[in-house]
């Protein structure tokens, strides 16, 4: 086999409860991840060296060298296998870059799956999960897909049963936000307001809404502790979130570290209407619809 292509989804965080800052610079989380139908595609082709080419959504903002998370993933996998394998990775991006939808993590997960297959390593998911956790806090979920609760820094995962399908609208922003900067701003705001930081807890009503497939309740339970920080860093997001509510979204929140905003709709048709209204309102660079949960990386 000379070439393997893997399709991998973006994520939105349905609950992101951020605990106190740890000594290692990370925060303990309760992170309810949900994979949605916006996909990057990573093609791994046998080659002697390691190289990457990126095309599509904001490709010019993605590193074309060893800083690319997908190349880091391939190198980590080769290191784990104890061999100096080579690969060329071609990434077709649709997931917004630095948008809070874990695009880089998705590409890293896809590269792990593709290279595991291309190099005939046959490593089980557990091994790939360990390598993933070293690459970034979001990478283990990107390997898993579906809907799952992440604890620790988000890398310890418990899959959740979800009834049915939820329909989403995503408002994409101009330019990204750095994840580290948003967490630092969250700490700064907490210090400035003297907020007592509680140990993060999963919200039972949110988990019940997922189990029951109840979009109305899920909409009211969406929470992101990073949202005030993202809105502080990018004031225009307040207007985008308001517009979603005004146009009938069941719930709205900043996705992860932002600046993408997510809106929950009643149905696929409602998502289409909401997307059209948000486009007309001019509150986003682009507006797209998607559904979730969807499975993790799939070899196509």
Ligand X SMILES: Nc1ncnc2c1ncn2[C@@H]1O[C@H](COP(=O)(O)OP(=O)(O)OP(=O)(O)O)[C@@H](O)[C@H]1O
What is the binding site for ligand CDM (CB under 6 A)? 13, 16, 25-27, 29, 31, 102, 105, 136-138, 153-154, 179-180, 183, 256-257
Name 261's bridge partners: 171, 254
User: Could you give the CA distance from residue 96 to residue 259 in angstroms, rounded to a whole number?
Assistant: 10
Cα 2 to Cα 68, 93, 119, 154, distances in angstroms: 22, 22, 9, 34
- Residue 69 to residues 64, 74, 145, 172, Cα–Cα distance (Å): 10, 9, 18, 22
Residues 262 and 172 sit within 8 Å (Cβ to Cβ) = no
**49 annotated as belonging to a binding site for a ligand:** no
| Closest separation in Å from C-beta 30 to ligand CDM | 10
Determine how many CB atoms are found less than 10 A away from the CB of residue 215: 19
Nearer to ligand CDM, 200 or 219 (CB): 200
The reply to whether 132 sits in an annotated binding site is: no
Residue 73 or 265: the one with the smaller Cβ distance to ligand X is 73
Instruction: Find out whether 66 and 183 touch, Cβ atoms under 8 Å.
Output: no
User: What is the C-alpha to C-alpha distance for residues 96 and 36, in angstroms, rounded to an integer?
Assistant: 13
Identify residues 2-41 at the interface with ligand X (CB under 6 A): none
- Judge whether 110 is annotated as a binding position: no
Task: Please check if 70 is assigned to a binding site.
Answer: no
Name which of 176 and 292 has its Cβ closer to ligand X: 176
Give me the residue label for tokens 């992170």: 31
Identify what 31 binds: ligand CDM, ligand X, none; CB under 5 to 8 Å per kind: ligand CDM
Minimum gap (Å) between residue 83 Cβ and ligand X = 23
Instruction: For the CB of residue 48, give the shortest distance to ligand X in the complex, in Å.
Output: 22
d(CA 135, CA 3): 23
Q: Annotation-wise, does 106 bind a ligand? A: yes
Residue 34 interacts with, from ligand X, ligand CDM, none (CB under 5-8 Å by kind) = none
DSSP single-letter state for residue 100: S
Task: Return the bridge partners of 88, or none.
Answer: 45, 51
Question: Rounded to whole angstroms, how far apart are CA atoms 273 and 275?
Answer: 5
Judged by CB, which is closer to ligand CDM: 10, or 77? Answer: 10
Residue 244 binds ligand X, judged by CB under 6 A: no
Q: Report the site for ligand X in 130-149 (rule: CB under 6 A).
A: 138
Question: How far is Cα 184 from Cα 187, in angstroms, rounded to an integer?
Answer: 5
Q: Which is nearer to ligand CDM, 16 or 74 (CB)?
A: 16
**Non-local CB neighbours of 250 within 8 Å, separated by 6+ positions:** 215, 216, 218, 219, 220, 263, 264, 265, 266
101 is in an annotated binding site: yes
Among 150, 256, 296, 297, indicate the residue that binds ligand X (CB under 6 A).
256
Q: Does 99 bind ligand X (CB under 6 A)?
A: yes
Across the beta sheet with 166-172, the strand order is 251-254, 261-265, 166-172, 286-292
Is 98 marked within a binding site? yes
Tell me, yes or no, if 127 is annotated catalytic.
no
Minimal distance in Å, beta carbon 112 to ligand X?
A: 13
Measured CA to CA, the distance from residue 290 to residue 128 in angstroms comes to 27
| 187 in active site | no
Residues belonging to the binding site are 96-106
Among all residues, which ones are annotated catalytic? 11, 138
Residues belonging to the binding site for ATP are 96-106
Residues near ligand X (CB under 6 A): 61-63, 67-70, 91, 97-105, 107, 138, 176, 179, 256-257
């Amino acid at each position: 086999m000379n070439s393997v292509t893997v399709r991998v989804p973006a994520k939105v965080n349905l609950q992101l409860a951020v605990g106190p800052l740890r000594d290692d610079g990370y925060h303990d989380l309760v992170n309810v991840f949900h994979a949605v139908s916006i996909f990057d595609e990573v093609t791994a082709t046998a080659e002697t060296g390691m190289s990457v080419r990126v095309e599509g959504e904001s490709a010019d903002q993605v590193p074309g060298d060893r800083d690319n998370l997908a190349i880091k993933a391939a190198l980590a996998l080769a290191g784990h296998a104890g061999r100096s394998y080579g690969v060329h990775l071609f990434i077709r991006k649709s997931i917004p870059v630095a948008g809070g939808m874990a695009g880089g993590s998705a590409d890293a997960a896809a590269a792990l799956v593709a290279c595991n297959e291309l190099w005939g390593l046959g490593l089980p998911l557990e091994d790939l999960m360990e390598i993933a956790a070293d690459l970034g806090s979001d990478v283990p979920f990107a390997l898993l897909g579906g809907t799952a609760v992440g604890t620790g820094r988000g890398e310890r995962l418990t899959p959740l049963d979800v009834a049915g399908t939820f329909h989403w609208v995503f408002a994409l922003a101009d330019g990204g936000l750095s994840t580290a900067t948003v967490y630092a701003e969250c700490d700064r705001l907490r210090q400035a307001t003297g907020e007592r930081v509680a140990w993060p807890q999963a919200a039972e009503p949110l988990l019940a809404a997922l189990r029951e497939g109840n979009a109305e309740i899920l909409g009211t339970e969406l929470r992101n502790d990073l949202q005030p920080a993202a809105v502080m860093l990018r004031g225009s997001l307040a207007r985008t979130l308001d517009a979603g509510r005004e146009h009938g979204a069941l719930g709205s929140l900043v996705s992860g570290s932002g600046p993408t905003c997510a809106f929950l709709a009643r149905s696929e048709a409602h998502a289409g209407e909401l997307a059209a209204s948000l486009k007309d309102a001019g509150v986003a660079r682009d507006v797209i619809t998607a559904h979730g949960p969807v499975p993790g990386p799939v070899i196509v």
